[in-house]
Each structure stands twice: as structure tokens, then as C-alpha cells.
Amino acid sequence: MSSHSCSLLFPVEEDHEYSMSDYEGVQARWCPGCGDHSVLTAAQRLLAAEQLKPEETVFVSGIGCSSRFPHYVNSYGFHGLHGRALPVATGVKLNRPDLHVFVVMGDGDCTSIGAAHWLHATRYNVDMVALMLDNNIYGLTKMQTSPTTPQGYKSNTQPLGSYLPALNPIETTLGVTNASFVAQTAEWMPAHLYATLEAAYRHKGFAFVRILQRCPVFTGDLYQDAVRNPDMIEMLEHPDGIEVPDLHQIYKNVARHDPRNMEAAREMAEKTDLIRVGVFFRDESRPRYEETRHLPLHSTDEKIEILNDELDKYAV
């Protein structure tokens, strides 16, 4: 496992006003037309709008195209193992609750090898934002079926078509005990994408956001009909969720959904007639792990002393 931190020195001026350019890391190397570019821009826009200090912000990822994210953001970051972004991020947040923690995963990274961590991170409800960039395929390793690949869709590992019905990440997350924020948006709807990230960041607890996106190389056709026909989209709106009235001229289907209603959220997640975007569920009263565990706070010297005491137990 390798760690990655920004090579640039962070500005320390008290009155420094951050712009989007302050959060730009190395040049992104995603394919032209990849939805990851849209998510990166929305994230950097959010950081600037909230004036989050780079030295107090952490992006954690696993393995995959989307997991290159920490390299492209001028903040602290950790590029870890496949499927292990969430436990790393949980450790960071529990030990440094003052940091703003974001997790970026792909559909395979989160819902396959990282599935157990995904479920338990939802149950722990640690205060951080988890972004699952879902292009329905393993893109970095060249078109293998993932858990969210539609049934019948052909890939290099299942050339006759995916055998199983696709896993529904929204429905699954809503079924986990102590889920507190579950939302869905799309990379081709930048205004809605930004509003969703903003709501997720301001939520106190584990905010899970599934971002529908196109892979221009392998799955460019999957959401193309929805991109061309806005009537295939339904926006869930509510004052306790998100509202993007500027999009109403394009997206006519708008449902007034109270995200405090778990039963209604699950019903909407199960429907497949339209693609629904917005906040499905939100409840800040759910217990957060960092509050219930009551971790002791130690200075750096105290931590070293505790660690040495533990290591001394095994000295020969």
C-alpha cells in the first residue's frame, strides 16, 4: 500500500482566499470524454466554495480509473489498495476528526472487492463523503463485468452478456442499518452534480453518493439515451434534500420527495422506469461512530510512548 501526499507547499496565509486553481494537482490523465473529469471539476468547485484548506482536506481512493483522484487534487491524499479506501478513510477521520475526508471509488472498487467495507462504513456512519463513480464496468483493466453491469451487457469476461441482474447501489445502501445519507446524481448534469456534492459535504454523517457516468471507451452507450432524452430523468426535490430549479426547463419530471421517508426512498430506488437523481434519504439524527466510540486524544509524544510500550511487549 502506498501513500500519496501533495508535493506543493500549502499556503499558510490567514486571509488567503482559495480559488479552484488552488486545488489543482497534476494534470488528469483520464480519457477525453470520461465522466471523471466532470466529477473532479465539481469537487474542486466545492472545495473553493467552502474554502476548505488543502492541508485540512484528504482524498482517499482504492484502485481504478476513478481512484487516480487524489493525484489530481491539491490536498492530502491516500491512494490505497483495491476496495480498501473506506477503512483507510475511517482511520483517518477517527484519528483526525478535524480533517475534511472524501472517498472516491469505482463501481467494482466499492461494490465488489470492497463490498464488506461499504456496508460497514454505512453502518458506522463516520462523518465523511463517499463518492462512487459508476460506469458499470471495470474500465482500468479493460472491460470486465462489474456488479453494476446491466444483465445481458457483453464484456471481455462475459462475452455472451452479463449473467446476473445488476446490483442496485442505492437500494443496497438504503438497506444497511444506520444509513444516514443516500443520493444519486449524474456526471452529465453538472449543476445537479455540484448541488448533490454540496448537500453531501454539509451532511453530518456518512454521505454516500452514487454518480452515474459514461466510460467513452467501453460503456459510452449505456446512458446515451438518457443524455439525449431528458424525459428519462426524474429529479427528486425537497428543501431537506436538494433543489435545482434552473434545470426544470430541461428536466420536466420532478418529484417532491421527503428524504426523511425511508419507505418512500426504498420504493423509488426499486423502480426502473426512470433514472432518479437526488437525495433519497437523509437523517442526521443517526448515531455517528466517532461520537459513540469516544476515542481518547493523545499528543504526538504520547502516541509514540504508547506505541513503544506495545512493541516492548514483544521484545526478545
CATH number at residue 301: 3.40.50.970
Q: What is the pLDDT of residue 2?
A: 38
pLDDT at residue 296 tops 80: no
Q: What is the pLDDT of residue 8?
A: 47
Domain membership flag for residue 248: yes
pLDDT at residue 14 tops 80: no
Domain membership flag for residue 78: yes
pLDDT (average), residues 107-119: 94
pLDDT (average), residues 241-247: 96
Written as nine digits, the cell of 56 is 485540512
pLDDT at residue 77 tops 90: yes
Q: What is the pLDDT of residue 12?
A: 55
| Chain centroid, CA 52 distance in Å | 18
pLDDT at residue 148 tops 90: yes
For the chain, what is the domain count? 1
Written as nine digits, the cell of 281 is 434519504
Instruction: Please tell me what DSSP assigns to residue 262.
Output: H
Buried residues in 63-81 as b, exposed as e (16+ CB within 10 A): bbbbbbbbbbbbbbbbbbb
- Distance, in Å, from the CA atom of 13 to the CA atom of 302, rounded to the nearest integer, reads 30
pLDDT at residue 83 tops 60: yes
Exposed/middle/buried for residue 245 (C-beta within 10 Å: 0-12, 13-18, 19+): exposed
Domain membership flag for residue 8: no
Nearest to 188 by CA among 94, 251, 124: 251
Q: What is the pLDDT of residue 295?
A: 65
| Chain centroid, CA 105 distance in Å | 6
Domain membership flag for residue 218: yes
- Distance, in Å, from the CA atom of 159 to the CA atom of 232, rounded to the nearest integer, reads 28
- C-alpha distances out from residue 144 to 77, 105, 136, Å: 27, 16, 10
Nearest to 284 by CA among 218, 219, 207, 216: 207
Q: What is the pLDDT of residue 208?
A: 98
Instruction: Please tell me what DSSP assigns to residue 30.
Output: S
- Distance, in Å, from the CA atom of 61 to the CA atom of 40, rounded to the nearest integer, reads 13
Domain membership flag for residue 62: yes
Q: What is the pTM of this model?
A: 0.90
Percent pLDDT > 70 in the chain is 95
Contact 277, 185 (CB under 8 A): yes
Q: Radius of gyration (Cα) for the chain, nearest Å?
A: 20
Q: What is the pLDDT of residue 298?
A: 77
Task: List the helix and strand counts (H, then E) for the chain.
Answer: 10, 12
pLDDT (average), residues 216-220: 91
pLDDT at residue 253 tops 50: yes
- C-alpha distances out from residue 249 to 209, 231, 274, Å: 25, 11, 18
Place of cell 466529477: 39
Domain membership flag for residue 194: yes
pLDDT (average), residues 57-67: 94
Domain membership flag for residue 98: yes
Domain membership flag for residue 13: no
pLDDT at residue 13 tops 80: no
Domain that holds residue 81: 18-312
